[in-house]
Structure 1
Amino acid sequence: MDFGLDEAARKRCEAIDADVRAHWAGVRAVADPAAARANFRAAGRIGLTGLSLPAEVGGAGLGALDTALCLEAFGRACPDTGFAFAVAAHLLACAVPVRDFADDRVREQLLAGLASGELVAANAMTEDGAGSDVGALAVTARPTADGYLLDGEKSWASNAPIADLVVTYAATDPAAGFLGLSAFAVPTDLPGVVLGEPLPKMGLVGCPAGRVRFENCLVPAEYLLGGEGQGAAVFQHSMAWERACLFGIYLGTMARQLEECVEQARERRQFGRRIGEFQAVSHTLVGMRQRLEAARLLLLRACWLLDRGEEHVTEVALSKIAVSEAAVANSLDALQLFGGRGYLTGGAEEQLRDSLPSTLFSGTTQIQRELVARQLGL
């Protein structure tokens, strides 16, 4: 096992770190769709929106491992974790399935815009009655001579209020459950696509999220991803990439958070001593470092397996559990270490709010444990 980065990967991550700090230094997370669109274009110029897309469309052509390393650099340098999440969701849950399942005409139409950040994509799977139970989708796609008529509403889609494209899933054969789902890349300028207003959230405010409604929306057949009834396979593929790579952002956020906590422990004085000299504080910082390093190893192994085309369900699920739980635990420790200052708006309290949804999106922690249990034969 070689734990070192090759020269190209090291330079790539250093360049992302420098570019992101130059553009987002001191930026505060705000729930502003107009700002989010401008940020997407800036991220596109840095290359973040096309990390894993082919070079011929303006992407970097990276595999899962190198994509995760770049997203870690992004998360470490960007003070707005919500926006970093928005970019990763756009890339991994939307652009990747277009890359791997769209027909040539649609790939030619969409991938360059997705890579540049000029097109913003949203992933719409969740419904009011179907979250983890994706086999219970109520949105339907009825085949017609010209394509598919989509009807129904998605309850939660990151980037939806500013999306130019929605990757969504609908039942083409409702009686078949999970096996009757189909996936679509739906341009939001099609008649019958209604994007809701941004939903109020406790964290990740830099990523606008909203409802998506399809009102007798005719989607041309060319926008079908994979074949009819292949929606489950498309979704599992996109979730493997998202669960394996997106959480690199949280590794970066935790690394930045740890640096801030160590600086606080060195500078803050109580009872005539730096607080880092108290064992209760120093051991807390060691625990934060341990969680970060252990989670990073699990994530990189999951991405390595994904790149090799080997079985990765267990490793991706374990990685997702480890990173998300470490992010929450470290944020609670950071809040405690900063005390009253940490409770003020921004800083530790914001990191805690941004860490909490990591245990929910891309499949809850409980669902990840169920996946591992099945792999154990339970």
Structure 2
Amino acid sequence: MDFGWHPAAQADFDRVRAEAAGWPDRTGASLRELWRRCGDAGLLGYSVPADLGGSGHGFLDTARVMEAFGRGCPDMGLVFASLAHLFACAMPIAEHGDERVRARVLPLLASGEWVGANAITEEDAGSDVTALRATARADGDHYVLDGVKSFVSNAPEADVFVVYASTDPGFGHLGVTGFVVRRDVPGLSVRPFEKAVLGTCPAGEVRFEGCRVPASHVLGVPGQGAAIFQSSMRWERTCLFAAYLGQAGRLLERCVAHARQRRQFGRAIGRNQAVSHAIARLHGRVEAARLLLWRACWRLDRGERAGADVAGAKLAVSEAAVDVAAFAVRVLGGTGVRVGPGVAHELLDALAATTFSGTSEMQLEQVAKELGL
């Protein structure tokens, strides 16, 4: 097995890491300004087909570049917002959308001119996505959407939404349908809210009240929504979480530098095994998680199912990210909890990774199912 990268992939990794490290944070730039930077860097359409405004890369190459994004950019809210836009909105449209909708929407999403959002979660339908109360009923050549979606990332800024609603409640997950919904459709409203994690990623509640959506904006065919959502999760649970490998690598670098420079009792704290061994163990955790993620991406690029691989990689990456961030807070001491130079916000952002895109418990359930349990 060759663990090397072809020159173009390595060049993209180096370029994205360097560019993202030089971007201003949200206190010095608006989301739209940073969004256009992400678009200009090719991040918002990296896996979108080239003839639709993207770069057409597969899972493994995309994961590699998204790791560079997380490694260079310290604003995980921006990283998450960008990659949720790509993997949970743009990719379902690219893989399942009507040809005319794809041609109209995807170049705008890939360039950063538009912001995309995914609306599936509801107050009573989180892990159980078959419990959707939002409905869509056929009305001539349109569907009429009614319902409320919660925790919609990018909602306050979004120009287009991928929305999942029940078109036949009696069929459970086989009655869920996906739709492409423009922000300007009458009856759609957004109520923003703040959150303690990934704070620079805007979020809100989206309400649909008699929203008329053309039938041509259905993703796939009616009743295919649950399968389409799970298909998008292949991208999100691998390539988005590659950015958390980047975050963990960035924090470990900082821990190593601090352990070399910080002196107590006449020597660098990195000379103490309590510190050096902890860093070595975390380094091993991150390396192992990266290999799991690369194998999952490799299998997906080969067209294999890879359900257990994807779930295992998501689980390993998210939990390693939490442990690295928690250690960084501890080893940096007073600096770690300060606003500005501190890393406590990185811990909160990492903790979120064990919940979104399927909780750790749901990933364990998936692995157990694949093992025949």
Cα deviations by residue, 1:309-337 (Å, 9 ceiling, x for unpaired):
10211000000000000011111111110
Give the alignment partner of residue 315 of structure 2, picking from 314, 321, 332: 321
Are 2:4 and 1:10 aligned?
no
Distance 2:183 2:222 in 1: 21
Superposed counterparts of 1:44-123, under 5 Å: 44-123=39-118
Superposed counterparts of 1:150-189, under 5 Å: 150-189=145-184
Give 1:18 shift.
2.0
Q: In structure 1, what residue type is equivalent to 2:153?
A: S
Distance 2:85 2:346 in 1: 22
Give 1:57 shift.
2.6
Where in structure 1 do 4 or more consecutive aligned residues deviate above 3 Å? none
Distance 1:244 1:341 in 2: 32
Distance 1:131 1:57 in 2: 32
Distance 1:132 1:22 in 2: 37
Superposed counterparts of 1:213-224, under 5 Å: 213-224=207-218
Look up the SS of the partner of 2:150 in the other structure: strand
Residue 139 of structure 1: aligned partner = 134
Q: In structure 2, what residue type is equivalent to 1:260?
A: R
Give 1:36 shift.
1.5
Residue 238 of structure 1: aligned partner = 232
Distance 2:169 2:128 in 1: 14
Residue 187 of structure 2: aligned partner = 192
- The count of corresponding residues between Structure 1 and Structure 2 is 372
Q: In structure 1, what residue type is equivalent to 2:260?
A: R
Give 1:58 shift.
2.4
Residue 333 of structure 2: aligned partner = 339
Gaps of 5+ in 1: none
Indicate if the aligned counterparts of 2:142 and 2:212 stay in contact, CA closer than 8 A.
yes
Residue 266 of structure 1: aligned partner = 260
Distance 1:374 1:278 in 2: 43
Matched residues, percent identical?
53
Cα RMSD after superposing both structures: 1.2
Distance 2:310 2:229 in 1: 15
Residue 277 of structure 2: aligned partner = 283
Distance 1:146 1:301 in 2: 44
- What TM-score do the two structures reach when normalised by structure 2? 0.98
Give 1:376 shift.
1.3
Give 1:17 shift.
1.6
Q: In structure 2, what residue type is equivalent to 1:317?
A: A
Residue 19 of structure 2: aligned partner = 19
Give 1:35 shift.
1.5
Cα deviations by residue, 1:53-90 (Å, 9 ceiling, x for unpaired):
11123211100111111100010000101100111100
Q: In structure 2, what residue type is equivalent to 1:357?
A: A
Are 2:196 and 1:208 aligned?
no
Cα deviations by residue, 1:211-265 (Å, 9 ceiling, x for unpaired):
1110000001111000000001110100111101100110011111011000000
- What TM-score do the two structures reach when normalised by structure 1? 0.96
Indicate if the aligned counterparts of 2:125 and 2:132 stay in contact, CA closer than 8 A.
yes
Look up the SS of the partner of 1:196 in the other structure: strand
Q: In structure 1, what residue type is equivalent to 2:293?
A: L
Are 2:295 and 1:301 aligned?
yes
Look up the SS of the partner of 1:157 in the other structure: strand
Residue 367 of structure 2: aligned partner = 372
Distance 1:6 1:143 in 2: 49
Q: In structure 2, what residue type is equivalent to 1:112?
A: P
